[in-house]
Structure 1
Amino acid sequence: MCPPEHFAVEYAINPWMHTDEPVDTALAVKQWEALRETLVRLGHTVHVLTPEPGLPDMVFAANGALVVDGTAYGARFKHEQRAAEAGRHRAFYEAQGWRFVAPSRTNEGEGDFAYLPRAYGGIILAGYGFRTEPVAHAEAQEMLNHPVVSLRLVDPRFYHLDTALAALDDERVTYFPGAFSAASQKVLAQLFPDAVLADEVDAFAFGLNLVSDGRNVVLNSEATGMAAKIATAGYEAVPVDLSELKKGGGSVKCCVAELRH
């Protein structure tokens, strides 16, 4: 995770960002710290990446890489405003001793990749349509040695896969069908017949931008309907307030890069 000490909406690169909407940075830091404390309380170790001035979106640490089996497949951001973040993430992973693979194709890490280690022997779901190039999916497959399933995103409000789909455990997902093309909806239905389906209200509340350890599902407190669906499916919903960070187009998952040995 990376604290939002320099978080601000200084540019608009997704439909949720509005440069005329003020950001309370102190509140953003407070909300972020509550998320960090929640993860620690649930038993997880949190590594902290140092934020840098001039990179207001570094708080969205999930976008820096996809880590599977001890290998970090690095990000290559689409927008110039975020390009410098990639080097900071690379430095972090290399300093921590992870095997780092530099990308040659545009991709935004866990923003557009989701890994399910027990589904079909270990499968990576990959979004495209707005930020990540489809050819990056093939590159990820070669670098990480797991099959990659490409899913087309069609609604610009759900510009990253992690705004429309999330792993609930090692083999089950939740997703909002309307964010995907008709063909991708059919693929998801075939692969995950037991998925927890979200509706438009859930998605607009960033209820799918969640982090789950297989039992506890940490999600945006605004997504009350999604929390109810999660509970009905047998998981423990853990709400956190990230209203300030939502102004940048992100929530819980965007703030958390998952490190998989």
Structure 2
Amino acid sequence: MRLAQPRHYLMCRPTHFDVVYSINPWMDPGKPVDTALAVAQWEQLRRTYLDLGHTVETVEPVPGLPDMVFAANGATVLDGRALVARFRDRERADEAPAYRERLLGLGLAEVATAGFVNEGEGDYLLCGDLLLAGTGFRSDPRSHAEAQEFFGRPVIGLTLVDPRFYHLDTALAVLDERTVAYYPEAFTPGSRAVLRRLFPDAVVATAEDAAVFGLNATSDGRHVVLPQNATALAEQLRDRGFEPIGLDLSELLKAGGSVKCCTLELRRA
């Protein structure tokens, strides 16, 4: 029997969601966007977390920042300390001060802004005592050493090679303190070897499930919230004793985000 652990999340309502520029292969400003549908899908995700017994804080959406809904990119929070993002793209740069202000308001022990490009939990995922850190498209590899010094946690660098999976959280999901799911072809051969060594019992996602952002998921150790179209991955999770909960976040996928992208975990201890 897998045990669920209560989580504390920060989310941002997609009040101003739109696709008006392109900074990843999923974004096409020429395609129509239904902001009301995006809000409804986001609300379903928030209600799911609340129904599972998790705590959800929110940050006020800022006009002119259509990607602010992707709260995971705003920071990494461990042991009550927050390392706020420094975004690669100017279109998202103003999200960092908004997340910094909100995190300061939550009474964390320390809130600092990254010196190198670092896109928060988009590229930093905690698994047990290890901080898995992505690079290749967004976060600067120099940010890995910075994060290790700030958090005092071992950082494992992983390099992404497929532009569709531009953040680590699009290609890898942490399921519990010892288990991950990932899509091998998103990584360099060396990074795949590291993942095999660290996680020999990992769930390996299919290309089809990766392509619908099935790995952009959250887990409380028992329940795994993921995109509903990742059906083969959901079946693998059931076989491992997890309880998958599929949701439709298809409107947000137009900007290259889904469940995990919308969810920043606040770890106070």
TM interval, short-chain normalised: over 0.9
Q: Give 1:212's match in structure 2, choosing from 219, 243, 251.
A: 219
Give the drift of 1:260: 0.6
Count of matched residue positions in the alignment of Structure 1 and Structure 2: 257
| RMSD of aligned Cα (Å) | 0.6
2:214 aligned with 1:203, yes or no? no
Give the drift of 1:233: 1.4
Query: AA paired with 2:72?
Result: A
* Matched residue, 2:29: 19
Q: Secondary structure at the match of 2:157?
A: strand
For the Cα contact (< 8 Å) 1:174–1:195, is it kept in 2? yes
Query: AA paired with 1:179?
Result: A
Q: Secondary structure at the match of 2:54?
A: coil
Q: Which range is displaced more, 130-139 or 227-236? A: 227-236
Which structure exhibits the higher relative contact order, with contacts defined as CA atoms closer than 8 Å and separated by 6 or more residues?
2
Q: Secondary structure at the match of 2:246?
A: strand
Give the drift of 1:40: 0.3
Give the drift of 1:224: 1.2
Higher normalized helix content (fraction of residues): 1
Q: Give 2:162's match in structure 1, choosing from 122, 145, 155.
A: 155
Q: Secondary structure at the match of 2:83?
A: strand
CA distance in structure 2 between the aligned counterparts of 1:64 and 1:70, rounded to whole angstroms: 15
* Matched residue, 1:106: 117
CA distance in structure 2 between the aligned counterparts of 1:43 and 1:69, rounded to whole angstroms: 21
* Matched residue, 2:192: 185
* Matched residue, 1:166: 173
Q: Give 2:88's match in structure 1, choosing from 56, 67, 78.
A: 78
Give the drift of 1:222: 1.4
* Matched residue, 1:66: 76
Q: Secondary structure at the match of 1:230?
A: helix
CA shift digits 1:74-100 (9 cap, x unpaired): 100000000000000000111111121
* Matched residue, 1:194: 201
CA shift digits 1:202-224 (9 cap, x unpaired): 10010000000000000011111
Identity score, percent: 56
Q: Which range is displaced more, 223-232 or 88-97? A: 223-232
For the Cα contact (< 8 Å) 1:130–1:156, is it kept in 2? yes
CA distance in structure 1 between the aligned counterparts of 2:239 and 2:21, rounded to whole angstroms: 39
Q: Secondary structure at the match of 2:27?
A: coil
Q: Secondary structure at the match of 1:238?
A: strand
Structure 2 segments unaligned to the other structure (5+ residues): 1-10
Give the drift of 1:230: 1.1
CA distance in structure 2 between the aligned counterparts of 1:72 and 1:231, rounded to whole angstroms: 33
Give the drift of 1:54: 0.1
Give the drift of 1:10: 0.5
2:102 aligned with 1:92, yes or no? yes
Q: TM-score, normalised by structure 1?
A: 0.97
CA distance in structure 1 between the aligned counterparts of 2:107 and 2:202, rounded to whole angstroms: 35
